[in-house]
Amino acid sequence: MRTKLCGVELKNPLIAASGTFGFGREYDELYDISCWGAISVKGLTLRPRRGNPPGRIAETASGMLNSVGLQNPGVDAFIRDELPWLAAKGIPVIANVAGSSEEEYAEAVRRLSDSPVAMIELNISCPNVRQGGVSFGTSPERVYGITRLVRACTGLPLMVKLTPNVSDIAEAATAAEDAGADAVSLINTIIGMAIDTGTRRPVLANVTGGLSGPAIKPVALRMVWQAARAVSIPVVGMGGITTADDAVQFMIAGACAVMIGTANITDPMSGPRIIDDFRRYLEGEGISDPGALVGSLRTDEADARREVFENRKSDVL
């Protein structure tokens, strides 16, 4: 089950995703969270944030909308109050970092670089207040700029978390790689909304929010496949994974590791279940190294069918 991600050894390729696992304390009351390969903690900003007003969560068909607004205690409080406990669990800690300006990103990453975190996950779905609220991750140029800036601030492995709200995910992944990222993770949530027909008001106080859960899995799987074909750095996949079979699909598409998010909320015991089922899958298939799954998608038959179809179409025309 062991694998390596940017030089960091994981006991398995399954990671608790940021935003759905807090700092792990609540889940550790239910099971030993050291069973995970790694934990990506709740998104951290330089200063504490109270987040958005309620309502902040809405259930949808096969998914969940959230507009929590990055509520967190800030980098310094995390390093002081949460990180020692997490580090004692003997599990790699990935610090997910967000910000509203280049300066905030840079300073937060510098402070985390002097702490025992194993890796930085750069959340670039945040609005840049210096550029009218446009997200840092919505164009290859912005992805390149913020990645290059942060790359100069840390010697830790740097993983860039890409937004799916772009025209070409492969271009975004390539921009992150060109700017010095050691890995990319995708996808973040898809922008959506919900309306209360009784009041004719938005369910979320912020009107729109991030859609996650099984509803986005086909989109996430396609984007992981596209990104993995475009870059040579590791790709970490996420988006709607609720079973070990889902996790295997992402790895076949090209992900070297996967993150499990919303499933932790709908079923707090999903982590240990998926990890155990993933192990049984490998044993059943006689696979001794999970890396053997990565990028093993067989497209030759599909290519052959497509070629036959094109030939028949040209004959008719």
Sign of the dihedral through C-alpha 277, 10, 260, 286: negative
Cβ atoms 94, 41 nearer than 8 A:
yes
Q: Is 215's pLDDT higher than 70?
A: yes
Could you tell me the pLDDT band of residue 44, with boundaries at 50, 70 and 90? very high
Give the CATH number of the domain where residue 101 resides.
3.20.20.70
Bigger pLDDT: 312 vs 213: 213
Pairing of strands 235-238, 183-186: parallel
| Number of alpha carbons in the 13 Å side-chain half-sphere of residue 82 | 23
pLDDT tens-digit map of 105-129: 999 999 999 999 999 999 998 755 4
Phi, psi angles (nearest 5°) of residue 208: -110, 165
Bigger pLDDT: 130 vs 223: 223
Q: At what angle do helices 217-230 and 169-178 cross, to 10 degrees?
A: 50
The domain in which residue 14 lies consists of 3-316
252: left (phi over 0), alpha (psi -120 to 50) or beta: alpha
For the chain, give the secondary structure using H, E and C: CCEEECCEEECCCEEECCCCCCCCHHHHCCCCHHHCCEEECCCECCCCECCCCCCCEEEECCEEEECCCCCECCHHHHHHHHHHHHHHCCCCEEEEECCCCHHHHHHHHHHHHCCCCCEEEEECCCEEHHHCCEECCCCHHHHHHHHHHHHCCCCCCEEEECCCCCCCHHHHHHHHHHCCCCEEEECCCEEEECEECCCCEECCCCCEEEEECHHHHHHHHHHHHHHHHHCCCCEEEECCCCCHHHHHHHHHHCCCEEEECCHHHHCCCHHHHHHHHHHHHHHHHCCCCHHHHCCCCCCHHHHHHHHHHHHHHHHHC
To the nearest whole number, what is the mean pLDDT of the chain?
Answer: 93
The percentage of residues in the chain with a pLDDT greater than 90, rounded to a whole number, is 88
Q: What is the pLDDT of residue 299?
A: 83
Q: How many domains are there within the chain?
A: 1
Of 146, 140, 156, give the one whose Cα is nearest residue 5.
Answer: 156
Give Cα separations from 184 to 174, 177, 254 (angstroms).
Answer: 9, 8, 12
Structure tokens given for 309 = 């179809």
Amino acid at the residue 86: L
Q: What is the pLDDT of residue 300?
A: 76
Could you tell me the pLDDT band of residue 303, with boundaries at 50, 70 and 90? low
Cα torsion for 69, 74, 79, 85, to the nearest 10°? -50
Q: Is 302's pLDDT higher than 80?
A: no
Q: Is 25's pLDDT higher than 70?
A: yes
pLDDT tens-digit map of 65-96: 999 999 999 999 999 999 999 999 999 999 99
Q: Is 131's pLDDT higher than 80?
A: no
Structure tokens given for 229 = 């074909």
Residues forming beta bridges with residue 195, ordered by sequence position: 202
Could you tell me the pLDDT band of residue 62, with boundaries at 50, 70 and 90? very high
Q: What's the whole-number mean pLDDT along residues 290-306?
A: 83
Query: What are the residue numbers of the active site?
Result: 126
Cβ atoms 256, 228 nearer than 8 A:
no
Phi, psi angles (nearest 5°) of residue 164: -80, -5
